[in-house]
Amino acid sequence: MEEKEISQAVIGRLPRYFRYLSELKYAGIERVSSQELSDIMKVTASQIRQDFNNFGGFGQQGYGYNVEFLHNEIGKILGLDRTHHLIIIGAGNLGQALANYVNFERRGFLFRGLFDNNSELHGKKIWGIEVQPMENMEVFVKENNIDIAVLTIPKTEAVTVAEQLVEYGIKGIWNFAHVDLNVPENIQVENVHLSDSLMKLSYNISRFESDNTK
Ligand code: NAI
């Protein structure tokens, strides 16, 4: 496939395409047109065609897309054709909730370890995974082919822990701490702010109310 810079907006839409295609695939649907995808996803058909053209286009005009092929191709682009091995740092409320959410496994994200600096949590099992002391982290990361670390620790701790993880060879960080991490360019960071989504919801409620009181 031709290598070119794909915009973050397009990349941001790929997981959604992938999810809808998963549903179509599991419903036994074999073909879908861009118009049908557009109706389900509430994205214009031309937007869908433009997005797919970034990857050489996946379908044939007038014939629609083969659901399984498109699902597999988008999965490959998203790197979901391989298994990722994750550890969670911070076994508090959020860390435990993530460890308990089994559906990540279906997409090939395997939670392998859970670490915390609170000795009272050590040995506790969350979804079969034992919470370990931070001192075990280096060897664990190296011996278990861990490529992603999930940071669910306070922001005051996150920068230092991220630096350690980089040193141990981690490739990506799923960062829930509300702080910008200082990591080299070859380390991928995805910051998650649930509150951003909530603020967007709040904005939409306000906009809807003001539009309907005019
Ligand atoms: P929590 O207090 O329940 O859990 C934090 C855990 O981190 C504790 O078990 C603590 O012992 C551990 N910890 C603290 N320092 C550590 C270190 N240096 N090394 C290893 N473990 C350490 O907090 P909660 O509610 O689980 O939140 C965790 C973090 O996630 C906070 O920074 C919070 O602000 C953030 N958060 C972010 C959200 C988002 O949307 N990005 C949503 C909710 C929480």
pLDDT score, position 61: 59
Residue bearing the CA closest to ligand 1, atom 42: 194
Q: How far apart are CA 9 and CA 51, in angstroms?
A: 9
**Residue 91 and residue 191 in one domain:** yes
CATH number, domain of 127, equals: 3.40.50.720
9 is in an annotated binding site: no
**Residue 130 and residue 177 in one domain:** yes
Residue 115 in any domain: the answer is: yes
pLDDT score, position 210: 86
- Domain range for residue 92? 84-196
Q: How many CB atoms lie within 10 A of CB 137?
A: 21
Report the domain count for the chain. 2
Report pLDDT digits (tens) over 181-202.
999 999 999 999 999 999 999 9
pLDDT score, position 76: 94
**Residue 118 and residue 167 in one domain:** yes
95 is in an annotated binding site: yes
Residues of the chain falling short of pLDDT 50: 1-2
End-to-end alpha-carbon separation of the chain, Å? 51
**Residue 156 and residue 100 in one domain:** yes
Residue 208 in any domain: the answer is: no
Residue 211 in any domain: the answer is: no
Q: How far apart are CA 114 and CA 137, in angstroms?
A: 9
Give the distance (Å) from ligand 1 centre to CA of residue 207.
33
pLDDT score, position 1: 47
**Residue 66 and residue 95 in one domain:** no
94 is in an annotated binding site: yes
Boundary-marking domain end, from 57, 77, 97:
77
Residues with CB under 6 A from ligand 1: 89-95, 116-118, 134, 152-155, 157, 161, 176-178, 192-195
Residue bearing the CA closest to ligand 1, atom 37: 176
Residue 2 in any domain: the answer is: no
Report pLDDT digits (tens) over 31-65.
998 889 999 989 898 999 899 888 887 876 567 89
Residue 212 in any domain: the answer is: no
